[in-house]
Chains A and B, each alone.
Chain A
Amino acid sequence: MNTTEKIKVLYIDDEQNNLNGFKATFRFDYSVLIASTTEMASEILANNPDIHIILCDQRMPDKTGVQFFEEIRSIYPDPIRMLITGYTDIESVIDAINRGHIFRYIKKPWTDADVKSAIEEGNKFYLTSSLLSIKNSELQSAYDELGKFAYSVTHDLRGPLLSLLGALEIAKSTENTTELREIHDMMGESIKKLDEFIRNIHEYYNLKRGRLMYEAIDFNTIVGDTAALFKIAGIMDNIRFSVQVNQKDVFLSDEISLKIILNNLLSNAFKYQRKGATDKFVEVTIDANSESATIFVKDNGIGIHENHIKNIFTMFYRATSEETGSGFGLYNVKDALNKLKGDVEVISTVNVGTTFKLTIPGKPNGSN
């Protein structure tokens, strides 16, 4: 029997007979919790954050149902509150409803149909408002990101442009060709930085808006394609690059997300090498079967200080001023991993190297 789909209802009444009757009547339709005192009810609420509906008798020995609801409202704002009461209490009930404490009242003696329709409607209201609060928090985080974006765009787009402007100004008054070439090289770096930032924004957008497209993944091809780009750009020069793929069965995943992940991790591994080191290496090891893929990206580069490791996946966070970086790459890696429900571990020692270990579940064959 599938109990997870049932609406969780808490019924509070000091008459044990009423509690028993309620539970007997509704236990097949709902997941029913009962409490004979308000203390017991508070305890149940604390242990069951997934209660959707609370029904409470108005005439409890220590306090009225309305008082109880007023007390718990600020601690448990989400569950829908309903009062069960006889006609004699109607004035206080009307007052409570008008003040917004109570979604519905059910008159005593209740009929099964009344209670059922109240619970169903209350649950609809619960689902709508919780959906609304989820959407609200999504909206809030989108606004927050937009704020960060606006700030970062002024710096990350404007910064390299202003550097170019300054360099042009200096170049105008420079006669020495060696120095001119040096200035040109630095201007080239500035342009690359700008381009990298723009490509990262594009990746970010793809990840945020794109839907996952599951297909059979060939890791050899993905790593090969990614490495080829670095090779052309001359980024891999003097770095020993080795790839080992052990892929047993079909691994279903989203190729674009995987490429973004590998591209960023490899780019960092090649970029943050120790200057002047003689035996630079980057190693990729992938073990994949139909259930999961484990990916290691290991380098012997500059490493990441332990104080920074917890922040490296934060947007725009940069742990070093060695080399140019946008503070976007690892954020995108984490974002892509989240979409794939994957996980990442980072092991790093300064001046020894860094290993990223990724675990990504494969999509089970045939499911959606």
Chain B
Amino acid sequence: MVATRKQHFIVIDDSKLDCFIAEKVIRNTGKCESVRSFLQATEALEFIKSNIAEQPTPNIILVDIQMPVMNGFEFVDAFEQLPAEITKNYKIYVISSSINDVDLNRVHNYSSVIQFLNKPLTSNNLSLLLTKDHM
């Protein structure tokens, strides 16, 4: 069943505008239970670690690559170190303005990352992703 279960979203981006855009686009899909935005990946990680309550509802993480302090790759590295009973409840999508081959190839090396998405996030490409998603 596709449309019946609503999902929780986590957006990680150092740009306030990009977080705002993502929140809007996500809410507009009508398939969203909640959206949380984090300007710092470290804070998102803390939240994920401590957030057992919302599981096992599907959780989707949209994470930017280039961010100060902890970038998207460092975030995914740290995420993959978390216990499996936490990580299994999340699906990570990397969303970036990067057109750098090294970045794009690096995304494929992470088993927890489902897909790379180009910015800006639009309702079209998000809806596509949600229907494709077998959750």
Contact = CB atoms under 8 A, between A and B. Distances in A.
Interface string A151-164: 10011001110110
Nearest to B122: A169
A268 to B, nearest CB: 14
A151 B100 contact: yes
Q: Is the interface of B mostly helix, strand, loop or mixed?
A: loop
Given A170-B21, A186-B20, A321 B98 contact: no
A166 B98 contact: no
A287 interface: no
A321 B119 contact: no
B20 A159 contact: no
Interface string B61-80: 00000111100000000000
Contact of B98 (A154, A169, A190, A317): A154
Given A151-B100, A155-B98, A166 B119 contact: yes
A155 B67 CA distance: 10
A187 interface: yes
B125 to A, nearest CB: 11
A306 B122 CA distance: 39
B40 interface: yes
Contacts of A190: 15, 17
B69 A162 contact: no
A19 interface: no
A319 B68 contact: yes
Nearest to B64: A159
Interface in A103-119: none
Given A166-B121, A170-B24, A186 B17 contact: yes
A189 interface: yes
B122 to A, nearest CB: 6
Contacts of A183: 20
A325 to B, nearest CB: 8
Contacts of B39: 321-322
B15 A163 contact: yes
Nearest to A321: B14
Contacts of B100: 151, 154
A159 B68 CA distance: 14
Contact of B68 (A151, A187, A318): A318
Contacts of B99: 154, 158
B14 A166 contact: no
B21 A163 contact: yes
Nearest to B28: A173
17 contacts: A154-B98, A154-B99, A155-B98, A159-B66, A162-B120, A163-B17, A166-B119, A166-B120, A166-B122, A169-B21, A186-B16, A186-B20, A187-B17, A308-B69, A320-B69, A321-B68, A322-B39
Top 9 A-B residue pairs of the complex, sorted by shortest distance between their CB atoms: A166-B120, A318-B68, A321-B14, A166-B21, A186-B17, A162-B119, A163-B17, A158-B97, A159-B97
Given A170-B25, A318-B68, 9 more contacts: A154-B98, A154-B99, A158-B97, A163-B21, A173-B28, A183-B20, A189-B17, A319-B69, A321-B69
Interface of A: 151, 154-155, 158-160, 162-163, 165-167, 169-170, 173, 182-183, 186-187, 189-190, 308, 317-322, 325, 327
